[in-house]
Chain A
């Protein structure tokens, strides 16, 4: 038989083999590109994969602390895998569904805790937490529970407060830093009347950040997502509508993220900025004199904000839970970790011995955030918490932009939050 004929006769089978080989190579390449797998190598070094989305100074802190941990534990290698922050939740769900979840992870705890704990992404760390020697140094809110079991820890918080440009306040004749919403309104009116500066820079984006910035106007009156109705809600929407109408807030507030709002405040054109403590690290670069205060309290109430920040968790599918907990203890729960994250990134540790130290409580700029952390509000544990926040964010953004009037905004928020809460089972 002609060899060429034989060759043609085999070609379909060979093609199939080549195709399968190519697919296999593609799949293997994909695995290789994704990350080094968890496991222990021939030298006895165990690699743990840590999915995180820290950036800037927080990332710098994490890298330094991880290097310290690896020096102290030469048989453990922590591979830091960068994930896009707002895609962390969906990627975790996808990874866990195919049995490829990470050993360690951080998450936007106030948004996705109900989802990730309910979906089996995070390991139950109740035994580790309850036997942790320094547990008494942390407030109970540090441990986030689902049906009584601990899945997430929040050892450092990020909270909202008020920054002010002391130079502008002096120029326009404001001598006292506002501590209540009414005082803030009076101060903004004074800044606006002066005409040289803008009054307030804050986020009003139609998402979680817009909701987060708005809610302290109600939290201090004991109104939260589970009691979101009544005249106080209407008044709060009328207030932000008034701020927009009088030009104290630019229309762009409706689309500003918290980063945008900080950049605006950094220009030196704004008298006040409502923003988070994570900017303390950058505040040293400001070209004007600044100060900080707690978020102004609503009239008749107290200053109260929601705690935020990244939760730390151990992946449900890890093969090395003991090593992962050792890392969490050393980097996230230790006094060393707490001191350094504040010094490097401005995050507020809740560990009592560090939070009460002169470095934090005695620091004029940091102290308002430390006080806020000690009396922060409690998030609902409803699985549709993210939905509730989005509904509120869209409503406040609509009011800032003029798409909705105050009444429409309040109604939209009340209805949207109620619908989401019901969708999530109705509880808090």
Chain B
């Protein structure tokens, strides 16, 4: 019976078969999405739910394993009324500015230099990828020794007659020192992203600008930068996200000190939750950080969506 039905299928429908198949493939393949959905739910959504639940509960050292009493927004009121939270927010925003300047300006200059092909470029790119791939705990430990009062950097300064600089123990300098290391670690990523954007620009556009008399910097300012605006925009958003989750280098290099001078939001959250076991406070600070990050992430998501639509 089945065979008879098949035999009677009109030729016209057989011709449409490919189109039908295309429509079937274009439907969401729910089963194929299942593993990703399960993993996402287990490793992203569920921890997020627990985090938010913790932030509206009273979770202290003695009841972390057990029932959590609901306290509403009390934790948020306490955290937001604590001056240390706002100081940590200020330090985090300073770190954002430092990283934005480093990633966009130095990153663009590095990408410009590295957009020329050659053996040196290949070597430099390899080194940059190596730096990018280094675990922060490892590179942070190395930098900690380099920047110590009696470390290599001060020894080099001494050779040229300059006095030692307390890179990590001066409260006015420590944030910038660690921030500089964070920027150093982030630079390869931004340079590689911007280099990709540069190489994607049609060479004919550059040649046309040259024919019109535009010099090197004029071409960069008036032609290349506008064309790279989407890339720069996305990189900016990613940089802000990176700044708000930068923790490893601070943990290794200063542990939030000296005093409280490098207590950024992630550092504050970590020590509240995992050293003092004030898990509610730690979770609340993390949620506050997350809300700030969401403000920056919304334009990113919209820009990605616009690209997908295009």
A252 interface hit (Cβ, 8 Å): yes
A416 to B220, CA, bound (A): 54
B300 interface hit (Cβ, 8 Å): no
A395-423 interface (Cβ within 8 A of B)? 395, 397-404, 420, 423
Whether A384 and B61, one on each chain, are in contact in the complex, defined by CB atoms closer than 8 angstroms, is yes
CB-CB under 8 A from A119, the residues of chain B are 61-66
Interface string of B148-168 (1 = CB under 8 A from A): 111000000000000000101
Whether B31 and A89, one on each chain, are in contact in the complex, defined by CB atoms closer than 8 angstroms, is no
A5 to B66, CA, bound (A): 52
A400 to B168, CA, bound (A): 13
A394 to B171, CA, bound (A): 12
A158 interface hit (Cβ, 8 Å): no
A251 to B171, CA, bound (A): 10
CB-CB under 8 A from B180, the residues of chain A are none
Q: How far is the CB of A82 from chain B (nearest CB, A)?
A: 16
B123 interface hit (Cβ, 8 Å): no
B74 interface hit (Cβ, 8 Å): no
B1-54 interface (Cβ within 8 A of A)? 2, 29-32, 34-35, 38
A81 interface hit (Cβ, 8 Å): no
A383 to B258, CA, bound (A): 26
Whether A401 and B258, one on each chain, are in contact in the complex, defined by CB atoms closer than 8 angstroms, is yes
A255-B257 in contact given A12-B31, A90-B274, A115-B62 (Cβ < 8 Å): yes
In the complex, identify which listed stretch (B90-98, B222-230, B275-283) lies at the interface while the others stay far away.
B275-283
Q: How far is the CB of A100 from chain B (nearest CB, A)?
A: 12
- Which of A15, A253, A395, A423 is the one whose CB lies under 8 Å from B169? A253
A106-147 interface (Cβ within 8 A of B)? 112, 114-115, 118-121
- Which of A15, A118, A251, A404 is the one whose CB lies under 8 Å from B62? A118
B184 interface hit (Cβ, 8 Å): no
CB-CB under 8 A from A23, the residues of chain B are 35, 38
B261 interface hit (Cβ, 8 Å): yes
In this complex, what residue of A is CB-closest to B274?
A90
A81 to B236, CA, bound (A): 43
B273-305 interface (Cβ within 8 A of A)? 274-278
CB-CB under 8 A from A251, the residues of chain B are 149, 166, 169-170, 258
* Chain B interface residue number, banded: 35 or more
Interface string of A236-262 (1 = CB under 8 A from B): 000000000000001111110000000
A213 to B29, CA, bound (A): 62
User: At the interface, is chain B mostly helix, strand, loop or mixed?
Assistant: loop
A387 interface hit (Cβ, 8 Å): yes
A39 to B258, CA, bound (A): 47
CB-CB under 8 A from A223, the residues of chain B are none
Whether A16 and B261, one on each chain, are in contact in the complex, defined by CB atoms closer than 8 angstroms, is no
Whether B169 and A254, one on each chain, are in contact in the complex, defined by CB atoms closer than 8 angstroms, is yes
| Interface size, chain A (Cβ < 8 Å) | 52
Q: How far is the CB of B9 from chain A (nearest CB, A)?
A: 13
CB-CB under 8 A from A400, the residues of chain B are 169, 258
Whether A15 and B32, one on each chain, are in contact in the complex, defined by CB atoms closer than 8 angstroms, is yes
CB-CB under 8 A from A90, the residues of chain B are 274
A200-250 interface (Cβ within 8 A of B)? 204-207, 250
- Which of B62, B66, B169, B271 is the one whose CB lies under 8 Å from A255? B169
CB-CB under 8 A from B62, the residues of chain A are 114-115, 118-119, 383
A402-B276 in contact given A15-B32, A119-B65, A254-B258 (Cβ < 8 Å): no
A204 to B169, CA, bound (A): 11
Whether B65 and A93, one on each chain, are in contact in the complex, defined by CB atoms closer than 8 angstroms, is yes
- Which of A89, A97, A114, A394 is the one whose CB lies under 8 Å from B260? A394
Whether A255 and B255, one on each chain, are in contact in the complex, defined by CB atoms closer than 8 angstroms, is yes
B107 interface hit (Cβ, 8 Å): no
In this complex, what residue of A is CB-closest to B149?
A252
B135 interface hit (Cβ, 8 Å): no
Whether A390 and B271, one on each chain, are in contact in the complex, defined by CB atoms closer than 8 angstroms, is yes
- Which of B38, B60, B259 is the one whose CB lies under 8 Å from A398? B259
Q: How far is the CB of B144 from chain A (nearest CB, A)?
A: 9
CB-CB under 8 A from B150, the residues of chain A are 264
A33 interface hit (Cβ, 8 Å): no
In this complex, what residue of A is CB-closest to B167?
A252
Q: How far is the CB of B149 from chain A (nearest CB, A)?
A: 4
A250 to B170, CA, bound (A): 11
Q: How far is the CB of A102 from chain B (nearest CB, A)?
A: 14
Whether B275 and A96, one on each chain, are in contact in the complex, defined by CB atoms closer than 8 angstroms, is no
Whether B61 and A1, one on each chain, are in contact in the complex, defined by CB atoms closer than 8 angstroms, is no
- Which of B65, B149, B170, B255 is the one whose CB lies under 8 Å from A120? B65
* Partner-A contacts on B (CB < 8 A): 2, 29-32, 34-35, 38, 60-66, 148-150, 166, 168-171, 174, 254-261, 271, 274-278
* Partner-B contacts on A (CB < 8 A): 1, 11-13, 15-16, 19, 22-23, 86-87, 89-90, 93, 96-97, 112, 114-115, 118-121, 204-207, 250-255, 264, 383-384, 386-387, 390, 394-395, 397-404, 420, 423-424
Pairs of residues from A and B, 6 with the lowest C-beta to C-beta distance, nearest first: A398-B259, A118-B62, A401-B258, A254-B258, A206-B257, A12-B31
21 contacts between A and B (CB under 8 A): A12-B29, A15-B32, A22-B35, A87-B274, A90-B274, A205-B255, A205-B257, A206-B255, A250-B149, A251-B258, A254-B258, A383-B60, A384-B61, A384-B278, A387-B276, A387-B278, A395-B259, A397-B259, A398-B260, A403-B171, A420-B276
User: A120-B65, A207-B257, A402-B171 provided; 6 other pairs, C-beta below 8 A?
Assistant: A96-B65, A119-B63, A251-B166, A255-B257, A384-B61, A390-B271
